[in-house]
Amino acid sequence: MRDRNREHDAAGRFAPSPTGPLHVGNLRTALLAWLFARFAGARFLVRVEDIDHSRVRPGIEEAQLDDLRAMGLDWDGPIVRQSERMGLYEDAIAWLDAEGLLYPCYCTRKEIRAAASAPHGISNADRYPGTCRELTRAERVEKEVAGRPPALRVRAEGNRIEFRDRVLGHQEAQTDDFVVRRNDGAPAYQLAVIVDDADQGIGEVVRGADLVDSTPRQILLCRLLGLPIPRYAHVPLVLGPDGQRLAKRHGAVTLADRAAAGEGPGDVLAWMARTLGLAEPGEKPGIEDLLSRFDPERLPRVPTVWSPGA
């Protein structure tokens, strides 16, 4: 892999996928990413993660950017789109393959879950049990003749990764053999995100706490590819009244929804500020007010339940 072990600044980023409108939980995470970066005097970048073509919807990217602007968020430099960076991902995959760090995997998700639930299997159904790791060449040919295109997995060797999250504290996990190229040929999220972060000079990744389980895999990839490892801050989520991650099923949760209910972006921003301890009830601070009050060490550590008008 080409040398990217250069000194890089603590740029932050927000990286939405254009698959649906941003809801107030997504927007609160974007606000926090912006606050972390601006508090540090760093650049703030926006990257569109659009390589999953089957889920990308026309017009969503523009609507998401409009919502960020409506909240008062700005960013530095042009918008970067993953769909325009495929060469970088293929370079990284080719380097890993040349180093003998990848192997083809023909398993379906159903087969992986079945293996994981067997008595000899591992407890986490999302972890790969290594079924295809030692297939012979003849066995691989047999599967491909049967019409099974392979994904590519990293030989993770059971590495145990430890890191300190700025919000969640000490974290550690053992990595499984995870996918870096899907069986449709597209680079996997774990690979694309670390290549992008390194190429863009991202020094601190601020994202939702639901993504913390991805971090050990990404740190391992950074080490294998010789890429700088950013700091991480996994911030609390906004949950629906049922305790699940906020989603469209929970009602009027987008800026457009709130506008139809008589609330403008300033009202939504004020709600976010109150949930983060940055505003008093009835107060409607602007984005610069929030920045002047922001202290990463005082950030709430528990999720917020969506309650409009609270």
Annotated binding site: 13-17, 49, 105, 107, 128, 132, 189, 207, 248
Annotated binding site for ATP: 248
Cβ-based neighbour number of residue 307 at 10 Å: 10
Distances, alpha carbon 212 to alpha carbons 50, 165, 198, 205, 217, in Å: 21, 9, 18, 11, 10
Annotated binding site for L-glutamate: 13-17, 49, 189, 207
Annotated binding site for Zn(2+): 105, 107, 128, 132
